[in-house]
Chains A and B, each alone.
Chain A
């Protein structure tokens, strides 16, 4: 190695730098703020990413109100509601984990991170149950939509005794499910990414990386997790609670 040119920090007798502080920042505070601004911008990007789908939803719902009306019978608001509760709980623990990291409460930190992860996993399990049921009865996208009369939701046949699976198919019910699977699928991918991030945080928390001055990663992932949660808060009524 050349003498001290590549790493002049060490040769100069500067006040000691925390090991977490990257070379181009003056203080941990500045580093934290830069990261946080980056995450907020990323969240802005996420909103616009989903915006297109919400616009598509609005256009199709405006054009085909009856289709959305019939479609909502296929979605179980109880399962959706359960998932809403699960996600809200995880948002609480995510926020709690930030507090725990700031106060250097290591056990609480690890516990809240693990609970957040488990809630995310529970959400995906419920999602799996919903998806597999729909795929099983053939309530899927576009021209693939084909539900046998026997598989129609009880609430739907009760309200409209004469309705047949074919009628729904002709009505273009597949378009609703195209939107449904795109929106919830994209959201689901975000939940999976969040789960990965929480595993990473758990590993770092167990290793003892975080302290009262360096807890940015916990904060940033929690912010991301909140936006995933907020998007679901919009998806749930728009898809499940339309009557």
Chain B
């Protein structure tokens, strides 16, 4: 009892004075890797900037009416290239549409394409990476060669071909085609990361213990190996989300992504590029929003990776 008291007494003055406490106190209870990473993340400025940007873009995508009450499809040629007025703080584009409203509403398609295509790529990448890493041998050889072949094709070229083939119907807005294109072509990096993470964790003692206790391959993979190899994979997916949003805009810019009357930052940039000499705002704002959105997701992935990878510290 006296022991405990003396410890408390010894620590008490330390807490009262505002001097920095020694780190010993913090290490009293064991911290997990995730807890460690979260501690690092909380201190990262880049992480918080990214989170704020991501939340704003998600709000724009989910409830655009929070930001604007104008209708992005309410266009009148009489307002062609008119300057800012009323709610249209960025002015009007060449068809007389409200640039601000169009830019806000453009977030939705970007986010939908980014999230769904990344989810598809994530599922394919996880299945391929897990099976290649876990089963090894000929399964691994075949899958790895296939990944090599996929990586040997410049991604945008394959994207152009696949996307234009998937939406040959001119009345289609191209949304499904873009999502499928991105999902089917971008899973390779994730699969590679997953594979190497699985290979490094499948020889750990806890997997051997699980196997001895009679766990089947499915249970071993999903309950034991997967949770311990997923950190790097999630980082790859976060970055991929940003990259895919950029590629969607590029495909739409080239005319093989979203098309028709779909509202997309890529289409807006493409339409405004030719007339930038007359009016800069219809080009500048969609480009800025697109750039910031991609940047936000990539920064988020970068910050998480820094936190999870002690080698980089």
A, B from the same assembly = no
Chain B interfacial positions (CB closer than 8 Å to A): none
Chain A interfacial positions (CB closer than 8 Å to B): none
